[in-house]
């Protein structure tokens, strides 16, 4: 008997912890019966169907989520045509809260595993092995043609085996890890609000498993804990362990509630290696009435304080989220939420849109709030009593601008200077979205190089008379991230004799002294000039405080050019920016890390 567990992931880099957890729990007794197959939503469904067919499973189980349900639905519609004798099972959040409706939609599905599936799956395998294929009604946690069986009790998290032993299937992929289940909060848009009991995995097990990741030098471990720091001692002990056992490589991702972070936790976080940890912080809205309506309690002032304290240490990437389409949040209110979160200066600011998930409390409140959403996944909001469909369309375009220009981290200095020309950050991205629309850029999908040109033209329109400053800001942003050999047209020429002579003399001198690039001592001057970049600037683009606080750039700056050396062998582990050295007429000093 062969039971094939199938995952259809969003991207190849992702893995599916659900099917690996099912396998790990059942492996000791039934491992000989189980096979695993992983695909992505980017593959053709006919190709996935063909590959499943070639495995010839006796039973198959799909792990279903909001992002793969359309693909899996299409596969289900044809699977029994090519494998008529194969039993089909489903599990996962997409089908757990409306299982009877899914069974009605797909008559070829034998049953659905509702909720946590490790024990349930193992008992299903037991029935198959013993030939009791007509006795699934005695298995808890199922929805069958005959109805629901007895609800499955909560799993002892410490009783679950570790998912990872052989790292070969996870090469160059994100590793997902779970140290707790459940969430103490009751946010009405979230399925985690249903599981009200927080269960913690035994700390000795957690440390042993973290040590496995560290010894194997895994690139990234993403904790799937819904609110990682809801138990202070648990979070502190894990962060302390990571601090004391850092391997210099592995990055750990945590989803946290920032406003409950204690000062002791802040002190520990600020000690971590730059790039060792990244934090995802859900803000969702700053509208008090909205937060109350979605049962979200949050101390915004404390959240701002925590985000600022973490940012001061320049060692942790912070990702802050907002959700459009929540109750009582209209277009202007969302703009105010955006501005307040933007003011916290996150490394990434994600604009999400409300998804009405089956089983989430808000799914029963849609009529109350006038929430209309798409019939098919991702069940995303179309409009509400406060937000029109036109508003949603415009916010989608603003979201694209934020992703392209802010979250890419490729235009940070230019945006920091440009934003002062607008009444607010939200107004800037509004205008940028409108400009993209006017220029037809949404249709043409401009290349990365062209995005710099579009931003320059936009800046010239809304902050007139400063074209040379914006050219230099964009040049600085460009070379911070890439040693461009083909210079965009907006960059000043550096082919005249003065620049050529300066650069030639600099690299000749560096070959002798190794003053600026000691880590590259094995390379000669010609090689150094190819591995680094030396760029002249007229304005102090490296000093945003000076740029922002001087309405007029000081004349003394205009009298001379400053050279900046971009060293790409030393990049900031957080921002990925090149290490920069300002070459002043009377000496040189590093200006970046």
pLDDT by residue (tens digit) across 44-93?
A: 999 999 999 999 999 999 999 999 999 999 999 999 999 999 999 999 99
Model confidence band, residue 493 (pLDDT cutoffs 50, 70, 90): confident
pLDDT at 234: 97
Average pLDDT of the segment spanning 147-175: 92
Model confidence band, residue 555 (pLDDT cutoffs 50, 70, 90): very low
Average pLDDT of the segment spanning 146-169: 92
pLDDT at 302: 97
pLDDT at 587: 46
pLDDT above 90 as % of the chain: 80
Edge-to-edge order in the sheet of strand 3-9 = 34-40, 3-9, 59-63, 87-91, 111-113, 142-144, 147-148
- Spatial neighbors of 12 by CB under 8 A, at least 6 apart, are 40, 42, 173
**Over 80: is that where the pLDDT of 591 sits?**
no
Between residues 496 and 32, the one the model is more confident about: 32
Q: Are 234 and 200 in contact (CB under 8 A)?
A: yes
**Over 60: is that where the pLDDT of 324 sits?**
yes
Model confidence band, residue 196 (pLDDT cutoffs 50, 70, 90): low
In angstroms, the CA 142 to CA 136 distance is 8
Encoding tokens for residue 142? 């199922």
**Over 50: is that where the pLDDT of 585 sits?**
no
* DSSP count for the chain of H helices, then E strands: 23, 21
pLDDT at 431: 98
Average pLDDT of the chain is 92
pLDDT at 553: 55
Cα angle vertex 123, ends 122, 124, to 5°?
90
pLDDT at 444: 67
pLDDT at 499: 84
Average pLDDT of the segment spanning 245-251: 96
Strands (E) across 345-451 are located at: 348-353, 372-373, 381-383
The verdict on whether omega for the bond into residue 342 sits within 30 degrees of 0, i.e. cis, is: no
Q: Which of 478, 438, 484, 480 is nearest to 458 (CA)?
A: 438
Model confidence band, residue 545 (pLDDT cutoffs 50, 70, 90): confident
pLDDT at 543: 87
Task: Report the DSSP beta bridge partners of residue 223.
Answer: 177
Edge-to-edge order in the sheet of strand 251-256 = 175-177, 220-223, 251-256, 277-284, 316-324, 348-353
pLDDT at 592: 47
Model confidence band, residue 551 (pLDDT cutoffs 50, 70, 90): low
Q: What is the pLDDT of residues 557-576, one digit of tens each?
A: 445 778 999 999 999 999 99
In angstroms, the CA 400 to CA 480 distance is 23
In angstroms, the CA 407 to CA 426 distance is 14
Average pLDDT of the segment spanning 352-366: 94
In angstroms, the CA 132 to CA 116 distance is 22
Buried b (16+ CB within 10 A) or exposed e, 488-512: eebbbeeeeeebeebbeebbeebbe
Q: Are 221 and 255 in contact (CB under 8 A)?
A: no
Torsion of CA 562, 563, 567, 570, to 10 degrees: -20
In angstroms, the CA 27 to CA 483 distance is 50
**Over 80: is that where the pLDDT of 9 sits?**
yes
Residue 106 neighbours by CB distance under 10 Å: 19
Q: Which of 131-140, 150-159, 243-252, 439-448 has the lowest mean pLDDT?
A: 439-448
């Amino acid at each position: 008997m062969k039971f094939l567990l199938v995952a259809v992931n969003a991207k190849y880099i992702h893995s599916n912890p659900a099917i690996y957890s099912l396998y790990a729990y059942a492996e000791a007794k039934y491992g000989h019966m189980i096979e695993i197959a992983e695909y992505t939503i980017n593959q053709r469904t006919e190709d996935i169907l063909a590959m499943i067919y070639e495995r010839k499973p006796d039973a198959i189980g799909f792990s279903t989520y909001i992002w793969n349900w359309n693909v899996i639905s299409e596969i289900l519609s044809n699977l029994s045509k090519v494998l008529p004798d194969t039993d089909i099972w489903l599990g996962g959040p997409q089908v757990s809260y409306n299982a009877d409706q899914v069974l009605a939609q797909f008559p070829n599905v034998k049953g659905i595993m509702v909720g946590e599936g490790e024990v349930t799956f193992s008992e299903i395998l037991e029935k198959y092995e013993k030939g009791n294929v007509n006795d699934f009604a005695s298995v808890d946690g199922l929805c069958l043609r005959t109805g629901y069986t007895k609800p499955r009790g909560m799993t002892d998290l410490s009783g679950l085996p570790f998912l990872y032993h052989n790292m070969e299937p996870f090469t160059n992929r994100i590793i997902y890890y779970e140290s707790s289940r459940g969430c103490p909060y009751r946010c009405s848009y979230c399925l985690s609000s249903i599981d009200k009991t927080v269960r913690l995995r035994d700390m000795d097990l957690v440390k042993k498993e973290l040590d496995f990741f560290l010894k194997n030098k895994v690139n990234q471990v993403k904790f799937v804990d819904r609110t990682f720091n809801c138990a202070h001692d648990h979070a502190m002990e894990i962060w302390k362990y990571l601090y004391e056992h850092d391997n210099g490589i592995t990055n750990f991702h945590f989803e946290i509630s920032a406003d409950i972070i204690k000062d002791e936790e802040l002190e520990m976080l600020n000690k971590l290696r730059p790039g060792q940890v990244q934090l995802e912080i859900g803000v969702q809205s700053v509208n008090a009435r909205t937060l109350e309506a979605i049962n979200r309690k949050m101390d915004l002032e404390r959240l701002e304080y925590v985000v600022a304290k973490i940012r001061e240490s320049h060692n942790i990437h912070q990702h802050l989220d907002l959700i459009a389409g929540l109750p009582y949040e209209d277009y202007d209110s969302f703009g105010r939420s955006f501005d307040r979160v933007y003011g916290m200066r996150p490394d990434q600011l994600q604009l999400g849109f409300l998804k009405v998930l089956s089983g989430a409390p808000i799914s029963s409140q849609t009529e109350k709030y006038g929430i209309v959403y798409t019939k098919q996944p991702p069940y995303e909001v179309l409009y509400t009593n406060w937000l029109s469909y036109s508003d949603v369309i415009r916010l989608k375009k603003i979201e694209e601008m934020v992703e392209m220009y802010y979250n890419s981290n490729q235009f940070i200095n230019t945006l920091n200077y440009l934003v002062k020309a607008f009444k607010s950050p939200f107004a800037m991205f509004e205008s940028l979205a409108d400009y993209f629309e006017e220029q037809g850029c949404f249709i043409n999908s401009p290349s990365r190089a062209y995005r710099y040109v579009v931003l320059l033209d936009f800046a010239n329109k809304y902050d007139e008379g400063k074209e040379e400053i914006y050219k230099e800001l964009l040049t600085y942003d460009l070379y911070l991230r890439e040693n461009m050999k083909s210079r965009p047209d907006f960059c000043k020429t550096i082919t005249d004799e003065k620049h050529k002579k300066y650069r030639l003399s600099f690299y000749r001198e560096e070959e002798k002294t190794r003053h600026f690039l000691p880590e590259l001592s094995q390379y000669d001057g010609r090689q150094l000039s190819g591995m680094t970049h030396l760029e002249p600037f007229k304005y102090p683009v490296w000093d945003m405080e000076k740029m922002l606080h001087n309405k007029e750039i000081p004349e003394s700056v205009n009298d001379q050019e400053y050279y900046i050396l971009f060293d790409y062998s030393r990049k900031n582990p957080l921002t990925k920016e090149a290490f920069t050295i300002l070459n002043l007429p009377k000496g040189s000093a590093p200006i970046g890390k």
